[in-house]
Amino acid sequence: MRWVLLLLLLFSGTSCSPARDSSETTFMMGTFVEIMIRDFKGPDNIISGALGTIKDVEGTFNLYDEKSELSKINKSSDPEIKVSEDLFRLLQLSKEINALTNGMFDITLGPVQALWGFYGPEKRVVPSKDDISKELAKTGFDKIELNHDRTVKFKIKGMKLDMNAVSKGYAVDKGIAYLISKGVKNAIINAGGDVYCLGDNDGKGWIVGLRDPVDKSEIIATLNTSNRSIATSGGYENFFTLDGQAYQHIIDPATGEPVRNDVLSATAIAGKAALADGLATAFSILDPEESLSVADSIKGIDCVIICRDKDEYSYYISRDIVNDLKVIGRR
């Protein structure tokens, strides 16, 4: 499971009457999902409907449910499989993110993730170089063929997809699309750190706080945004320690080993939550300057990378959000 750094939502402005605001929080996709709607006079069950849409997405991509579509595909011996529209769309987006990030976002790393023991409570061990190499040979988007009839062809046996690093964001996008279809104009969906800010908050932009990646009780920066999604990734949330060495869950597709760099957290901002979700993972692996290059070269994509710099932090902030981001924590 991919864990992300939780974002704390800070609401500014005066409150509206209770009759015009509503919110609900529930547990799904391995995290808490919160939906808050402002200034809406529609039916009372609008949030329940959005949560139901998100639940449907979870049922498609849940690796821990053997009945999910993704689990069935991973267990199938058929080299070519017809998939649902949701799964096909997310495969296409994953391929695009893979290309944008020089291969650092890779949903085909399932065999390698399993080798390192990140799928269950089993005893974690450091696999041998030979075992890593063997499983790494089963990965890569060059070994997947996406066809116009929504069929997916796996070119070699033993391939397994892990879409945890993008499916949560996709679920948020589906939830937001449902709210918009029902006439909602101002809302937030927060799925364990994958956040979409729709419209505004009492006539102002939404203020989203980024937590300190080490001291999670502190807010380190705030971002003013609207009609955009924010996702933060950090390997320290899911790791194991063996013989004094920490191994995080984010795997470098080039080596098949957990990433070792100075990136403490990587935040991606984009128009779609699924895109921000996938980019945040890739930005955790890339050199910060490379992440900036990706963000600054594509309209609508931004990033905030926080790195370890001795006893302080260093920040890499894409140029289009410099005026909207306020660093209030460690320097």
Decide: residue 109, CB within 10 A, 0-12 exposed, 13-18 middle, 19+ buried. Answer: buried
Q: Answer whether 293's CB lies under 8 Å from 246's CB.
A: no
CA distance 266 to 127: 27
Q: Is 191 helix (H, G, I), strand (E, B) or coil?
A: strand
Looking at residue 240, what is its pLDDT? 63
Query: How far, in Å, CA of 268 to CA of 164, rounded?
Result: 16
Look-up: residue for tokens 């529930």? 26
Q: How far is CA 176 from CA 89, 224, 227, 234, 245, in A?
A: 17, 19, 10, 25, 41
Of 93, 118, 156, nearest in space to 247 by CA: 118
Which 3 state secondary structure label does DSSP give 112? helix
Counting every residue written for the chain, the total comes to: 331
Q: Which domains are assigned to the chain?
A: 7-59+165-327 (3.10.520.10), 75-163 (1.10.3980.10)
231 touches 280 (CB < 8 A): yes
pTM over the 0.85 mark: yes
- What is the chain's alpha carbon radius of gyration, rounded to the nearest angstrom? 20
Residues 6+ apart with CB under 8 A from 67: none
Residue 76 φ then ψ, to 5° = -70, 145
Quote the pLDDT of residue 17: 38
pLDDT at residue 39 in the model? 86
Q: What is the pLDDT of residue 90?
A: 98
- Asked if 229 contacts 272 with a C-beta cutoff of 8 angstroms, the reply is yes
DSSP annotation of 164 reads H
pLDDT number for residue 247: 67
Each residue's pLDDT expressed in tens, for the chain with a length of 331 residues: 233 333 444 444 434 434 368 999 999 998 999 999 998 888 888 999 999 999 999 999 999 899 999 999 999 989 899 999 999 999 999 999 999 999 999 999 999 998 888 776 666 778 899 999 999 999 999 999 999 999 999 999 999 999 999 999 999 999 999 999 999 999 999 998 899 999 998 888 899 999 888 887 889 999 999 999 999 998 656 666 666 666 678 899 999 999 989 999 999 999 999 999 999 999 999 999 999 999 999 999 999 999 988 778 999 999 999 999 999 876 5
Confidence (pLDDT) at 2 = 32
Q: What is the pLDDT of residue 301?
A: 97
